[in-house]
């Protein structure tokens, strides 16, 4: 509109300057009239709209980013459901607490994950992630993050997954495998370190990536830090990453957690990690990831690790293999606990995934007797809504 | 360890006398260097050989964002798949959205291909319109203007330098735009197909029409059914040119080419995507040449 008006006025000015006879004056007059009529018409339309509507109370654009993830699986396993539910890992866990994923032979609806992310104001953002199980509502995470602390510090408050280790903070659906590595399962349980607390992060202004994190948590993890009569868990980690050439990126880290077990023993957990990612092209890469965890409780020292290689062939196919072992155990407990997994995942589109995972697990005891468990599962996963991008 | 950190900090502070600018894509780096000259240090976050939608979120990028005084992005949701988690982790309040060290250049240009309805049923669409506007040389001038205004805002004392750099940059680009327009006049009305709707802005500038894409929907890999459709379309319309980018698979384009005789032209999407396109000028010359050839 503005353009038309400007155009018209330029035209009329030129015309006026060019000649000043009466016919021209008339034309200018009629142009002005048309302009005025046009302006009135626009005003009238505006008024008509204003008579009947208002956007004053519309808050739609302030809604949080909402995402919904659905996860289900079909499982074939050579252990019956009632035996599987009570599995134990000698020297590590007496009885599995809850099994949130792939629990039953046959069909499982594992969870619907509802996520919300929003800016609270200039100073905070909020995130909430709810896990809806068939008969349970669980707050997986709910926390505030600061945006404007001095010295580039950022602080997290609420219930959240700790940044300990490589994968503790990564949700199940964003991991490369359908189930946890053995050492995590044995030392932290399937849910990992996920507690109420506060965390502080700082990224150093260096040429290479260097991040320092510290967290204080309640400590409700039954396997390693169960004493919850008072807050007892303190976590620290240091992560560093750099590039080796244009196509290779490295991420290393060291983590430490100190707390008390349910029966008030001192419990310390150490973790070391290394991830190497080699980019083949935009959609294809090789990813080698390994982690070692070492646990030191008053008298018992235990350790375990996993190493995995993932080949992403293109935007649709991904292949992976993982080996996990618990190689250090308490006295008189087995130290040959092992688990092998292989996975093929197919993603018809960025936001959906079907994964076929085969596992042979030589670490578990069922009803007090050690037995090799074989399992094949097919998992489906869809992500809808405004789901954020994944980190490295 | 602490010593190393302190030394590195001191060292980087010394360099900080220059304005430290991180840009997401190479062309933005070229423009920023042209406007900022010796007064700025430019770091490009992605490789022009890779798909601009999917950049590996390497930890080293966090370190680069952490030290930036200004972040310049393409916008139009081109970076949505990789940049947000890096920005969050870097936690550099200077360059966060809404602060003066953040610049989205898509505001300087008119976006085309805005979808009438938005749903992922249509594939990986961009709700704000096609973000590949850097392909049109006419868009680079307002982008340069915006960058020079931002630099002047951050460093008012140098604004006359930024301004004069902009003036010489824009007249150089205008001259090139005019000569390319003249040179490829005959291109008007030509029909092509392309892999992704990546070249629409350049096609529009030269009056070329794109009749189909090799991918059935944005972000969805080619299917045999859709490929057959494209082959028929090429035959019906006597299309002679298939525009292929550097980062998608080239098998499908070659297959179509074999079946139809249409020629596959590799067109760069950014400065440096192919070795010959090493400067903005060469980039726009090659784009025009390979579309119209």
Q: Which pLDDT tens digit goes with each residue over A147-172?
A: 888 888 999 999 999 999 999 999 99
Nearest CA in chain A to B11: A206
The predicted model gives A132-141 an average pLDDT of 91
Grade residue B80 by pLDDT with cuts at 50, 70 and 90: very high
Q: In the predicted model, is pLDDT for residue B42 greater than 80?
A: yes
Minimum CA–CA partner of B51 in chain A: A282
User: What confidence score (pLDDT) does residue A359 get?
Assistant: 97
Instruction: Enumerate the domain spans of chain B.
Output: 2-177, 184-292
For residue A375, what are the β-bridge partners?
A77, A359
Q: Which range scores top for mean pLDDT: A14-23, A131-140, A286-295, B84-93?
A: A286-295
**Percent of chain A residues topping a pLDDT of 70:** 94
> Does the A68-385 domain belong in CATH 2.40.128.30?
no
pLDDT recorded at residue B293: 81
pLDDT exceeds cutoff 60 at A361: yes
Domain B184-292 coded CATH 3.40.640.10: no
pLDDT of amino acid A52: 78
Rg of chain B (C-alpha set):
20
Q: How close does chain A come to B190, measured CA to CA in Å?
A: 30
Would you place residue B97 in the very low, low, confident or very high pLDDT band (cuts 50, 70, 90)?
A: confident
Selecting from A154, A207, A285 the residue whose C-beta is nearest the C-beta of B63 gives A207
Mean pLDDT along residues A323-342: 94
> Is the torsion defined by CA of B205, B210, B214, B216 positive or negative?
positive
Q: Shortest CA distance to B130 belongs to which of B211, B199, B210?
A: B199
- Assign A386 a pLDDT band (cuts: 50, 70, 90): confident
Give the pLDDT score at B15. 46
- For residues A330-354, give the mean pLDDT: 93
Give the pairing of strands A373-385 and A364-366: unpaired
Q: Which two tokens stand for residue A251?
A: 């991420």
Return left, alpha or beta for B203; rule: phi > 0 is left, psi -120 to 50 is alpha, else beta.
alpha
Residues of A whose CB is below 8 A from B92: 152
Would the pLDDT of B13 be above 50? no
In this predicted structure, the answer to whether residue A68 has a pLDDT above a threshold of 60 is yes
Measured in angstroms, the CA of A118 and the nearest CA of chain B are apart by 13
Distance (Å, whole) CA A355 – CA A172: 13
B9, A206 contact by CB (below 8 A): yes
Model confidence over B206-238: pLDDT tens digits?
A: 999 999 999 999 888 899 999 999 999 999 999
Interface residue A313 vs chain B (CB under 8 A)? no
Please state, rounded to an integer, the average pLDDT across all residues of chain B.
91
A 331-360 → B contacts, CB under 8 A:
349-351
Q: How confident is the model at residue A14 (pLDDT cuts 50, 70, 90)?
A: low
Could you tell me the pLDDT band of residue A193, with boundaries at 50, 70 and 90? very high
Yes or no, beta carbons of B83 and A153 under 8 Å apart: no
**Is this prediction's ipTM beyond 0.95?**
no
Residue of B nearest to A125 (CA): B88
Question: Of A291, A373, A366, whose CA–CA distance to A340 is shortest?
Answer: A373
> Sign of torsion, CA A198 A139 A294 A288?
negative
pLDDT at residue A54 greater than cutoff 70? yes
Chain B touched by A106 (CB under 8 Å): no
Q: Give B2's pLDDT tier (boundaries 50, 70, 90).
A: low
- A249 and B59 within 8 Å at the Cβ level: the answer is yes
List, in sequence order, every beta strand (DSSP E) within B106-248.
191-194, 209-213, 241-244
Of B93, B123, B126, B94, nearest to B112 by C-alpha is B126
- Binned at pLDDT 50, 70 and 90, residue A4 comes out as low
pTM of the complete model: 0.86
Q: Is A278 on the interface with B (CB under 8 A)?
A: no
Q: What is the mean pLDDT of residues B3-18?
A: 55
Q: What mean pLDDT do residues A66-71 have?
A: 95
pLDDT at A37 over 50: yes
The answer to whether residue B14 scores a pLDDT higher than 50 is no
Model pLDDT, residue B149 = 96
Average pLDDT of A9-35?
Answer: 75
Which residues of chain A does B249 touch, with a Cβ-Cβ cutoff of 8 Å? 314
pLDDT at A62: 85
Residue B118 CA to residue B101 CA, distance in Å, equals 31
Percent above pLDDT 70 for chain B: 95
As a residue count, chain A comes to 392
pLDDT beyond 80 at A95: no
pLDDT, residue A49, reads: 83
β-strands B191-194, B209-213: how paired? parallel
Contact assessment for residue A386 and residue A65, using Cβ atoms and an 8 Å cutoff: yes
Q: So what's the pLDDT on residue B3?
A: 57
Q: What average pLDDT does this structure show over B125-138?
A: 92
Give pLDDT, residue B232.
94
Residue A20 has pLDDT above 90, yes or no: no
Q: Distance (Å) from the C-alpha of residue B238 to the closest C-alpha of chain A? A: 32
Numbered residues of chain B with Cβ closer than 8 Å to any chain A Cβ: 5, 8-9, 12, 47, 50-51, 54, 56-60, 62-63, 66-67, 80-86, 88-93, 96, 98, 120, 123-124, 219-221, 247-249
Which among A203, A246, A389 is the nearest to B62, CB-wise?
A: A203
Question: How far, in Å, CA of B225 to CA of B239, rounded?
Answer: 19
The pLDDT tens digits for B164-195 are 999 999 999 999 999 999 999 888 999 999 99
Q: What is the DSSP letter of A225?
A: B
Q: Which residue has the tokens 């350790």?
A: A303
Closest Cα in chain B to A276: B58
pLDDT surpasses 60 at B1: no
The domains of chain A are located at 2-52, 68-385
Question: CB B63 to CB A279 under 8 A?
Answer: no
Mean pLDDT of chain A: 90
Return the CATH superfamily for domain B2-177: Nitrogenase molybdenum iron protein domain (3.40.50.1980)
Predicted confidence band at A60 (pLDDT cuts at 50, 70, 90)?
A: confident
Please compute the mean of the pLDDT values over residues B252-275 and round it to a whole number. 95
Across the range A92-114, mean pLDDT stands at 88
Would you list the DSSP string of B65-126?
Answer: HHT-SEEEE--TTTTTTTHHHHHHHHT-GGGSTTSTTEEEGGGGS------SS--GGG-S--
Contact check, Cβ <8 Å, B83/A392:
no
pLDDT, average across residues B63-81? 95
Residue B132 corresponds to which tokens in the numbers above?
């590949």
Q: Specify whether the CB–CB gap between A29 and A349 falls below 8 A.
A: no
Let me know if the fold of B2-177 is the same as that of B184-292. Answer: yes
For residue A388, pLDDT beyond 80: no
Quote the percentage of chain B above a pLDDT of 90. 83
Interface contact B63-A206, CB threshold 8 A = yes
Tokens of B250: 């080239």
Mean pLDDT of B83-88: 93
């Amino acid at each position: 509109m503005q353009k038309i008006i400007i155009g018209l006025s330029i035209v009329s000015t030129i015309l006026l300057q060019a000649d000043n006879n009466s016919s021209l004056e008339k034309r200018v007059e009629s142009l002005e009239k048309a302009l005025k009529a046009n302006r009135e018409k626009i005003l009238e339309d505006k008024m008509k709209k204003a008579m009947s509507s208002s956007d004053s109370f519309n808050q739609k654009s302030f809604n949080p980013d909402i995402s919904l993830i659905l996860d289900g699986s079909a499982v074939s396993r050579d252990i019956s459901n009632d035996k599987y539910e009570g599995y134990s890992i000698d020297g590590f866990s007496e009885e599995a607490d809850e099994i949130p994923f792939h629990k039953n032979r046959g069909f499982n609806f594992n969870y619907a994950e509802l996520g919300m992310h929003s800016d609270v104001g200039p100073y905070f953002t909020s995130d909430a992630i709810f896990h809806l199980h068939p008969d349970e509502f669980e707050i997986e995470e709910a926390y505030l993050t600061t945006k404007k602390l001095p010295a580039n510090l950022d602080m997290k408050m609420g219930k959240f997954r700790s940044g300990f280790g490589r994968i503790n903070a990564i949700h199940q659906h964003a991991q490369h495998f359908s189930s946890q590595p053995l050492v995590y399962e044995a030392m932290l349980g399937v849910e990992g370190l996920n507690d109420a607390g506060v965390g502080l992060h700082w990224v150093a202004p260096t040429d290479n990536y260097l991040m320092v994190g510290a967290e204080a948590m309640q400590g409700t993890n039954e396997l390693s830090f169960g004493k919850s009569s008072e807050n007892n868990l303190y976590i620290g980690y240091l992560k560093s990453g750099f590039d080796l050439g244009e196509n290779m990126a490295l991420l290393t880290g060291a983590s430490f957690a100190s707390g008390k077990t349910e029966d008030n023993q001192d419990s310390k957990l150490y973790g070391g990690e290394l991830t190497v990612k080699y980019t083949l092209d935009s959609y294809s890469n090789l990813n080698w990831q390994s982690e070692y965890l070492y646990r030191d409780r008053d008298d018992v020292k235990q350790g375990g690790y996993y190493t995995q290689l993932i080949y992403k062939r293109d935007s649709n196919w991904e292949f992976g293999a993982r080996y996990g072992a618990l190689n250090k155990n308490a006295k008189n407990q087995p130290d040959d606990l092992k688990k092998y997994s292989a996975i093929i995942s197919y993603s018809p589109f960025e936001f959906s995934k079907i994964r076929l995972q085969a596992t042979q697990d030589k670490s578990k005891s069922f009803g007090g007797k050690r037995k090799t468990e074989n399992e094949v599962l097919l998992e489906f996963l869809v992500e809808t809504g405004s789901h954020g991008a994944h980190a490295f | 360890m602490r010593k190393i950190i302190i030394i590195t900090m001191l060292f980087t502070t010394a360099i900080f006398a220059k304005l430290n600018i991180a840009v997401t894509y190479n062309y933005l780096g070229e423009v920023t260097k042209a406007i900022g000259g010796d007064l700025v240090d430019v770091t490009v976050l992605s490789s022009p050989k890779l798909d601009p939608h999917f950049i590996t979120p390497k930890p080293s990028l966090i370190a680069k964002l952490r030290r930036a005084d200004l972040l310049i992005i393409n916008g139009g949701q081109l970076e949505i798949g990789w940049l947000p988690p890096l920005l969050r982790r870097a936690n550099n309040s200077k360059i966060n959205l809404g602060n003066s060290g953040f610049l989205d250049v898509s505001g300087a240009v008119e976006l085309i291909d805005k979808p009438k309805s938005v749903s992922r049923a249509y594939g990986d669409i961009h709700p704000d319109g096609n973000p590949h506007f850097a392909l049109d040389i006419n868009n680079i001038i307002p982008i340069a203007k915006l960058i020079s205004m931002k630099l002047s805002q951050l460093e008012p004392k140098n604004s006359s330098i930024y301004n004069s750099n902009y003036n010489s940059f824009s007249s150089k680009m205008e001259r090139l735009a005019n000569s390319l327009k003249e040179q490829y006049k005959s291109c008007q009305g030509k029909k092509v197909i392309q892999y992704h709707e990546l070249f629409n802005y350049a096609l529009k500038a030269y009056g070329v029409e794109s009749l189909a894409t090799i991918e059935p929907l944005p972000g969805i890999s080619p299917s045999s059914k859709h490929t057959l459709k494209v082959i028929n379309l090429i035959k019906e319309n006597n299309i002679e040119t298939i525009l292929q980018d550097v980062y998608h698979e080239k098998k499908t384009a070659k297959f179509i080419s074999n079946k139809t005789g249409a020629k596959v032209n590799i067109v760069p999407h950014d400065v440096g995507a192919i070795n010959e396109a090493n400067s903005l000028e060469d980039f726009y010359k090659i784009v025009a040449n390979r579309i119209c050839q």
